Amino acid sequence: MEKKVAGKNGDVYVPYAQREGAESIVYFTRDLSGEGLEKIYKRVAEKLSGKVAIKLHTGEKHGPNIIPRPWVENLVKNELPKATIVETNTYYVGDRYTTPEHRETLKVNGWTFCPVDIMDEEGTCDLPVKNGKWFDHMTMGKNIVNYDSLLVLTHFKGHTQGGFGGSAKNIGIGCADGRIGKAMIHTTPGSADMWDIKTEEFMERMMESAKAVCDNFKEHIVFINVMRNMSVSCDCEGLSAAPVVTPNVGILASLDILAIDQACVDLVYAMKEEDHHDLVERIESRHGLRQLSYMKELGMGNDRYRLIDIDNDDKEIDAKMAVEGVKPFKSEE
């Protein structure tokens, strides 16, 4: 039997004390509200300039767990009045498979307060993947190159295929176009199963796609993860998503994509067993932790970080302190 090596196997969680390398800054607030989102956004806003895109999972029709629309509307109107929400069509047949279906879903979910660019509506472009194992390029919605800066605004949650969905999943899958790029990540050419690529290989392909996006925007990309309504299911599943049982936590922001996704995973693992059991099982059963170790191998950021509590005079805290006192999940919190 192959020996499991922490960091290479996506079902092995690596404790903070066993990690090596530099530290990045991750900001944290427990304020799950439009005001909290705006407050933490200001900590990373200076990196955004020019024509700004917001990569957001806008959800299937009536999706119950997406980031609340009023929060995003508040942020756009107060801080980013000229920004554009960007999306791509889905690989699977559903409410967002074609551009007309997608635009109808956007209306249903209330994403009408600012422009929404479905980036693959009029074609694709190729972004280079540097030092990739699986790709030398990724096919994206062509309009991605029309923007100077990118705010990656992510609902952190579980994911049926990836184990969890953080910032890297948001751009790795979410910027790849709906027909070519997403197929490159999900499907072995010629396979009758469109979802046949799984576990470590899937995570690596997804991270290489995310790297292409990060490299495109260079220092003009920032990340915000909202740890609220964390079903083990992705927002792609809409009303079919599994019921939420994991407690709400807060909002995180960083300039480092690996650090922010690692911090969210660390906060989940720092919860009590009864609070994190379902989400941890989903992450490990899909080998989702390979997202983190492969990002580190690709040089996408640091898995060590300083967690800054902006609710308490920028005190530096650890994951356990961040989730201390979280309450059992209740809908409409």
- pLDDT for 113 equals 97
Question: How confident is the model over 143-178, as pLDDT tens digits?
Answer: 999 999 999 999 999 999 999 999 999 999 999 999
- pLDDT for 1 equals 35
Q: 82 in the Ramachandran plot: left (φ > 0), alpha (ψ -120 to 50) or beta?
A: alpha
Long-range pairs of 96-100 with CB within 8 A, sequence gap ≥ 24: 96/58, 96/60, 97/178
Q: How far apart are CA 209 and CA 218, in angstroms?
A: 14
- pLDDT for 235 equals 59
Q: Which residues contact 143 (CB under 8 A, 6 or more apart)?
A: 86, 117, 119, 120, 121, 122
| Amino acid present at 15 | P
Handedness of CA 61, 197, 288, 210 (dihedral sign): negative
- pLDDT for 234 equals 74
- pLDDT for 24 equals 98
- pLDDT for 240 equals 66
Is residue 291 within 8 A of residue 10, CB to CB? The reply is: yes
Integer CA distances (angstroms), 329 to 229, 239, 276, in order: 8, 18, 11
- pLDDT for 2 equals 42
The series of mean pLDDT values per 10 residues for the chain, 333 residues long, is 61 95 98 98 98 96 92 98 98 96 97 98 98 97 98 96 97 98 97 97 98 98 98 71 89 98 98 96 97 98 98 98 94 60
Joined together, the tokens standing for residue 170 give 């948001």
Joined together, the tokens standing for residue 63 give 């999706």
Q: What is the per-residue DSSP string for 145-170?
A: GG-SEEEEEEE-EEETTTEEE-HHHH
Integer CA distances (angstroms), 153 to 11, 192, 232, 235, in order: 26, 34, 19, 14
- pLDDT for 333 equals 46
Measured from the Cβ of residue 41, the count of other Cβ atoms closer than 10 Å reads 21
Delimit the domains of the chain by residue range: 16-322
Residue (of 89, 75, 90) closest to 45 by Cα position:
75
- pTM for the model stands at 0.96
Q: What is the CATH number of domain 16-322?
A: 3.40.50
